A and B are shown apart, each in its own frame.
Chain A
Amino acid sequence: MFRLILARLGQHLFVLWAAVTLNFALPRLMPGNPLALLAGEDVASLTTIQREALMATVGLDRPWPEQYGRYLERLLVGDFGYSYQRNKPVIEILLSRLPWTLLLAGTGQILATLVGLGLGALAAQQAGRAGDMTLLGLAVFFESLPAFWVGMLLIAVLAVQVPLFPTFGAVSPWEREVGLALALDVAHHLALPLLTLVMVSFSGTFLVARSALLTVLGEPFVVAAHAKGLSKRQVLFRHVFRNALLPVVTVFALNLAHAFGGATVIETVFSYPGIGRLIYEAVLNRDYPVLQGAFFMITVIIIVANIAVDALYPWLDPRVRQAAMQAEGAA
């Protein structure tokens, strides 16, 4: 088992290295360079020599292998460098954005999963009947809504026409609120983006949970459990939910990872200061250090999520545990 874990760790490190390398290469493969950022204004009035000097100040004049070596070296000691655009350490920028993305994407995913699981269970219970069909239809309908479209409609209706919610931002920072007032203000700002996120993302979990539950409900051990005289509730929680969790957890991990990079659109619509928006802007500006830092962080988060899922699999599904042990024994 220990060897298995080591081997997995090695694999993950390999993925991390590959991703880190890709992070280095991708921005540099894109046409254009961050000169405009480095020069600030009046880039046009610089002489060629000044331009080159400017690129040299951030090491972009060096050959790629050398830049790559230095990049890996720094990464190993946790140095993400300085943002070209913001003149700040990348780590500082990332850490200032991370809480907001965690709040929005994290809360959104958890809520979406709970909603999806609950509705999925509800639907599975009355499989094939009107309630199931209605929920199914609704889930598919919501899933098909473009996130930015929903967000903009919500702003148009609930923030502009009827000004119930703020149109932008994560907080009214200048109000200098503390405690409950601050929490309320954050919640007030979070409401619409969160609603958007949950609306467009709960159905994935719903569909998975419903189908998994239906599958499990038909399995012999469930039938047997019923036959043993266990109550519906007992069967549901002791046998059915536990077995249906596997695909739900898979989807959760996948979605979580996706949410970190993919909340860009929602963050844009609501001017929410998260990581997704940061990456998008960094790409457009060729702010390499920010890109690399953000990619790295997302990559690590995704890998950790994957490790967690892998670790949870055997716990969630004894059959996989057995299979894994067998595989190890064979190897």
Chain B
Amino acid sequence: MEKTYYNPADLAKFGSISELQPEMGSKFFDYYGEVFKEGALTAREKSLIALAVAHAVQCPYCIDAYSTDCLEKGADENQMMEAVHVAAAIKGGSALVHGVQMMNKIKEVTM
């Protein structure tokens, strides 16, 4: 057993997930490559979105990968931190908006 659940060296082995299911793995990586190509959004904008999502899903592999990728694509530190704040705002907001549900319930069960 590994001593920790996350090993930084595993990031480079991401491609090996295809070994147990080559067809689906290959389709996933083709799709992944297509998604990150320059399109209606620039590759830099997509990288910043990926960085924000990486924080929202709290994936250390993705945070490592997209911090570097953002730098490589010319994003500056302010843009990167703003992207993380966008993730934080949505995460915080998604918790808080459920407060309405709580208030509904309070109303329902109290006099």
A binds B: no
